[in-house]
Structure 1
Amino acid sequence: MNRKELLRIDGLPVLQNRVYPSAESARASPRGTMDLVQDAATGLVFNRAFDPGLLQYDADYQNEQACSSVFRSHLDDVLAIVARNFVKPSLIEVGCGKGYFLRHLRDAGYDAKGVDPAYEGDSPHVVKAAFSPELGLSADAIVLRHVLEHIQDPVHFLSEIARANGGRGRIYIEVPCLAWIRTRRAWFDIFYEHVNYFRADDFNRMFGRIDEMGHVFGGQYLYVVADLATLRQPAGGPDAEFDFPADFMAGIWQCRDIARAFTGNKAIWGASSKGVIFMHHMALAGVEVDLGIDINPVKQGKFMAGTGGQIVSPARAIEVLPAGSLVFVMNSNYFDEIAAQSAQRFRLVKADNNEL
């Protein structure tokens, strides 16, 4: 097969959103190789070295972001897109996580059902299982938020959704945007969990009919509303070619230099995927970070995969970190929220553009 290598990173923690009960168990968590390639036949970008056997999604996998008012506002934006495209009430959210957005959909009047093996609640509207046509679920519309990047064969997975749905219906898909990652040199957004990385043109080649396409969450996420009946195998070609810039990983060294020039305590704010990857690369660069801070209460008191960094609440961080400590903010979308929660106590740096 003709596949062009784009980026290789060895030894990445494989589950950035899985938290651990001790630093030792976190440091012993599985690691894998990221060997990003582009397939010439389809134009799709994916991790050729991906091993699904390394991943275990269970109750310790904590990726709920709705603790943040900023993220809840994003979900309101998503609901508005869904509302203007899906007028019939029957809907399935594939990969509903802990069920926050599913409740949002039901509160908005949708007869919405969810499917997710990592679901922890007791809602009668959620099937705690991996999606498959054998579940016998179908609806007028499908919502697929931040799932497709985790699926080893995304076109086949979409075809299974279409088959389960009788080859009909429309689908809302939301994924991280590879074009944004490239433009922003977002090295901390290259995760082992994400076996695929998508651009807008990938979906234009994947579907014969797209009703709406755009970006949300400050451009970080790409979304499409497409007709499942028009799903097709994408074809590559010169117009689909992709490369990373030569300086894509340079932000690691910029953050390292900022940290080395600072003599006090150091922490990160945001102990999810970006934070775990940031800590991983900083450790390799010889930078010791004291803590990870996160507002999600189920993460607090636990430890991050790879480095074993401890996660604390914002209140605890204010107690234990001296005033003026250096804190890298993992996602600048949350910068104002974090500045308010930290009571302006720390020296905040936006890790995604190294701004003070």
Structure 2
Amino acid sequence: MTGPSTSCPACATPAVEPFYRRSGIPVNSCLLVTDRDSALGFPTGDLALVLCPGCGFVWNQLFDPALTSYSPDYEETQGFSARFQQFITELATDWLQRYDLVGRRVAEIGCGKGEFLVEMVRAGAASGVGIDPGVHPERVPEDVRDRTEWIAGFFPEDLPDLDADAVVCRHTLEHIAPVGEWMRQVRAAIGERTDTIVLFELPDTRRVLDEGAFWDVYYEHCSYFTAGSLARLFRATGFEVVGLSRAYDDQYLLIEARPATVPVPGEPFDIEDDQAELAASTARFAAAHAEMLDHWRSRSREVAAAGGRSVIWGSGSKGVAFLSALGADGALVDAAVDINPYKHDRYMAGTGHLIVPPATLKEIRPELVVAMNETYLGEIGRDLSALGVDAQLEAL
């Protein structure tokens, strides 16, 4: 096991005291677990979140990369959601048009199951290469197979050169511990192609801190960015930031950049000015977390005391973090519902909850359905109505 990091992985400022600690949390949230005993005995790790006073980056000082695992059994996709599919289709089309990528080549680092790269090719990119240890080429739609290449591996070991007109990286940087070093590797892999557009998407940590969203803090996410710390990292590692915004109900950050040959400070974006507010948010986070956790524990107890049943909707990272944080009260939740068929009849890491398809709710007849992401409330509500399940639907 590695020891605590003593300096900021983004800017090397000496570390200060953590503002939030947790122990015994599952080290993977999206690995498919085939039996309940394995789920209950799933490996755990510890977490100590530190705010860098220099650049505003937040990281898990106790993160040990040897404890995490990424493989074909890593089932992270949200692609079975119509709401999510609409989002990635619109984003892919927007990026393709704004950066003149029709007829061009796209490389995606951390492509997951490939949905986004598929949408970029469908929108007009000539070809694409995606790299991810969990990619399943056999699940890629036939209409783009002859224009795409899929590498089951890691950047940069298995894809050392990023010879492309666009480099895309979505929901991967938060899984990288040495973020400064890794971003310099991205810049080096692009080489002299300063016309390449670099397009990243990742969670916005400001929302997590402000809302006390303990369900968005989990082991695989060892790195946490705000708009300001993300822009500062890109500029420090050889990029000119040309776009910075929030998306998906302000849950995600989008950053658009180009490789630079000399440092380019650039004009700061308004949303970068966040360090004073960030310091206040981190100071409040532990108390906000406790308040939110008390609410959901009380809610679960209320339903159980009245003879009702509860389920969560969403068996991914948020679901694992939510159930793990509930502790003994997690046993009051009957099951985890998911629309992804690859997860059905598997078990939640750490708590052993069975993952079931929505149709199972006709048998469970829950009093309470807790959506792990409020963005999907409309979609979930329609599914419940179609099933004839009259339950109270609430969101984290």
The aligned residue for residue 268 of structure 2 is none
Alignment counterpart, residue 53 of structure 2, candidates 32, 40, 45: 40
Kindly indicate which of the two structures has a greater share of residues assigned to helix.
2
Q: Determine if the alignment matches structure 1 residue 113 to structure 2 residue 123.
A: no
**Cα deviations across residues 176-217 of structure 1 (Å, max 9, x unaligned)?**
001111222211100110001100111232234321111111
Q: Determine if the alignment matches structure 1 residue 73 to structure 2 residue 86.
A: yes
Q: Determine if the alignment matches structure 1 residue 334 to structure 2 residue 358.
A: no
Q: Determine if the alignment matches structure 1 residue 174 to structure 2 residue 201.
A: yes
Give me the whole-angstrom Cα distance separating, in 2, the residues matched to 1:132 and 1:284: 42
Task: Structure 2 unaligned segments of length 5 or more: list them.
Answer: 1-13, 139-144, 266-272
Give me the whole-angstrom Cα distance separating, in 1, the residues matched to 2:316 and 2:251: 15
Alignment counterpart, residue 256 of structure 1, candidates 297, 302, 313: 297
Give me the whole-angstrom Cα distance separating, in 2, the residues matched to 1:241 and 1:22: 41
Q: Determine if the alignment matches structure 1 residue 290 to structure 2 residue 306.
A: no
The aligned residue for residue 151 of structure 1 is 176
* SS in structure 2 of the partner of residue 342 of structure 1: helix
CA contact 2:323–2:330 (8 Å) conserved in 1:
no
Task: State the 1:244 CA deviation.
Answer: 4.2
Give me the whole-angstrom Cα distance separating, in 1, the residues matched to 2:155 and 2:52: 26
Among the aligned pairs, what percent are the same residue? 30
CA contact 1:207–1:227 (8 Å) conserved in 2:
no
Alignment counterpart, residue 113 of structure 2, candidates 98, 121, 124: 98
The aligned residue for residue 138 of structure 1 is 163
The aligned residue for residue 128 of structure 1 is 152
Cα RMSD between the aligned structures? 2.3
Which deviates further from its counterpart, 275-284 or 205-214?
205-214
- Cα 1:107/1:231, change in 2 over 3 Å: farther
* SS in structure 2 of the partner of residue 5 of structure 1: coil
- Cα 1:4/1:316, change in 2 over 3 Å: same
* SS in structure 1 of the partner of residue 137 of structure 2: coil
CA contact 1:291–1:309 (8 Å) conserved in 2:
yes
Aligned residue runs from structure 1 range 1-356, under 5 A = 1-88=14-101, 89-110=104-125, 111-122=127-138, 125-132=149-156, 135-167=160-192, 168=194, 169-208=196-235, 209-229=240-260, 239=276, 242=279, 243-245=282-284, 246-262=287-303, 263-285=307-329, 287-318=331-362, 320-322=363-365, 324-343=366-385, 345-352=389-396
Give me the whole-angstrom Cα distance separating, in 2, the residues matched to 1:255 and 1:165: 46
Give me the whole-angstrom Cα distance separating, in 1, the residues matched to 2:372 and 2:390: 14
Give me the whole-angstrom Cα distance separating, in 2, the residues matched to 1:331 and 1:93: 25
Task: State the 1:30 CA deviation.
Answer: 1.1
**Cα deviations across residues 74-111 of structure 1 (Å, max 9, x unaligned)?**
11232133124421312111011111111111111212
Give me the whole-angstrom Cα distance separating, in 1, the residues matched to 2:261 and 2:290: 37
Which deviates further from its counterpart, 240-249 or 74-83?
240-249
**Cα deviations across residues 54-91 of structure 1 (Å, max 9, x unaligned)?**
11112221011110001111112321331244213121
- Cα 1:80/1:103, change in 2 over 3 Å: closer
CA contact 1:174–1:221 (8 Å) conserved in 2:
yes
Higher relative contact order (CA 8 A, sep 6+): 1
- Cα 1:286/1:95, change in 2 over 3 Å: closer
Give me the whole-angstrom Cα distance separating, in 2, the residues matched to 1:37 and 1:241: 12
- One-letter identity of the residue aligned with 2:297: R
Count of matched residue pairs:
349
CA contact 2:15–2:50 (8 Å) conserved in 1:
no
Give me the whole-angstrom Cα distance separating, in 2, the residues matched to 1:102 and 1:257: 42
* SS in structure 1 of the partner of residue 260 of structure 2: helix
- One-letter identity of the residue aligned with 2:252: Y
Task: State the 1:240 CA deviation.
Answer: 8.3
**Cα deviations across residues 325-346 of structure 1 (Å, max 9, x unaligned)?**
2111111111111111112524
- One-letter identity of the residue aligned with 1:127: I
Give me the whole-angstrom Cα distance separating, in 2, the residues matched to 1:213 and 1:237: 13
Give me the whole-angstrom Cα distance separating, in 2, the residues matched to 1:250 and 1:232: 44
